[in-house]
A and B are shown apart, each in its own frame.
Chain A
């Protein structure tokens, strides 16, 4: 998975960056991952000795699958439970198939099953299924990796009228041949990876015009850079600067927004400064001086 969708902070920190360009570590890991799955019997082996302990992992997303792998290697009897009919969590249900092909996840799950990990899919917990107490009785240990399925919402007047990007992407994956209906003109608020996924998917589903509203310019958007360039030209969304201050429903179902234009886009320096504070690095290469 990381070979395809990891935001590769390793490459941003690569010392080679100061010379020409970073080593393509993510691509290398993808090649290694392809090899690992092609030879799954060698690399995803059942443990040499069983511990006799049973563990339930709740959630078959990246965290749950990783926990299951290491627990199984330690010899435990691992069962992965998930409410959805397929394993993978966000990898399967949120990231579009053109970035994260379905057969990759299928092969990965098969490899994990080869280690002796059991999957109970379509098994919701709570009101409709087993309770935590039920699980505690059946298993010696529990690992809860339920993920973040609640989409972000904007603190905006009538913000609840906006559609959630996450729900839209999940709807596309679940809908299969009947994906969610997309309007002619689509506005996407935000400039992160999910926003780009939503914009490009909306275009693929028939929207004739996609606007992306974010504070950054196209070059400084926080989306994984390579992702925004690779499929960008096909979709050609336009990026007006600024963002909505309120939204409301028009008669007939379409939506309208009050618009607030940004005085200027965030420059590269703004963005790197923001990144610096986030990662608390004292100096950037450019601001360093004597």
Chain B
């Protein structure tokens, strides 16, 4: 990694962990540092490189299949076959879900089910009720 007046040059074999803790990146390109830090787990970040990360994305065959044949969750679909179907080349780790959860998509009024479930798990029943009432005033 070379920091100069025109910016930073990052070699393709730079581990994500280095990127996440590099002082210049953390100061000047904070978003990039945070993005690198959000990938997978520390063990993986210590080994995984930038180039590898770029190649990793199409590794999941459900994700990379053209025309979204598999209704892939990360492409805005409803199912993640990387979790339950043939998953030798899956892409469960890394990245983030870019669409609503399947239950929310299935619900005609799109109740924010994961959000109120999270509050329930935290034991905050009134918060969960408030989230549900945002979209569904007749839940009982």
List chain A positions with a Cβ less than 8 A from chain B. 1-4, 9-15, 18-19, 23, 25, 28-30, 32-37, 39, 42-43, 62, 65-66, 69-70, 104, 107-108, 281-283, 285, 288
Instruction: Decide if B106 touches A9 in the complex (CB within 8 Å).
Output: yes
With both beta carbons as reference points, the residue of chain B lying nearest to A4 in the complex is identified as B140
Residues of B within 8 A of A1 (CB): 138-140
Instruction: Decide if A2 touches B136 in the complex (CB within 8 Å).
Output: yes
**What are 11 sample pairs from A and B whose C-beta atoms fall under 8 A apart?**
A10-B102, A10-B113, A14-B102, A15-B83, A15-B101, A18-B84, A25-B113, A29-B111, A33-B138, A66-B138, A69-B138
B15 to chain A, nearest CB (A): 32
Residues of A within 8 A of B101 (CB): 15
Chain B positions 102-140 with a Cβ under 8 Å from a chain A Cβ = 102-108, 111, 113, 116-117, 120, 125-126, 128-130, 132-133, 136-140
Residues of B within 8 A of A39 (CB): 126, 129
Residues of A within 8 A of B85 (CB): 18, 285, 288
User: Is B43 among interface residues, defined by CB-CB distance under 8 A?
Assistant: no
Interface size in chain B (residues, C-beta < 8 A): 36
Consensus secondary structure, chain B interface: helix
Instruction: Decide if B69 touches A9 in the complex (CB within 8 Å).
Output: no
Instruction: Decide if A10 touches B79 in the complex (CB within 8 Å).
Output: no
Instruction: Decide if B69 touches A283 in the complex (CB within 8 Å).
Output: yes
Among candidates B108, B120, B132, residue contacting A9 with C-beta atoms closer than 8 Å: B108
Residues of A within 8 A of B111 (CB): 10, 29
Instruction: Decide if A15 touches B79 in the complex (CB within 8 Å).
Output: yes
User: Is B78 among interface residues, defined by CB-CB distance under 8 A?
Assistant: yes
Instruction: Decide if B138 touches A2 in the complex (CB within 8 Å).
Output: yes
With both beta carbons as reference points, the residue of chain B lying nearest to A1 in the complex is identified as B138
Instruction: Decide if A32 touches B125 in the complex (CB within 8 Å).
Output: yes
Residues of B within 8 A of A42 (CB): 126
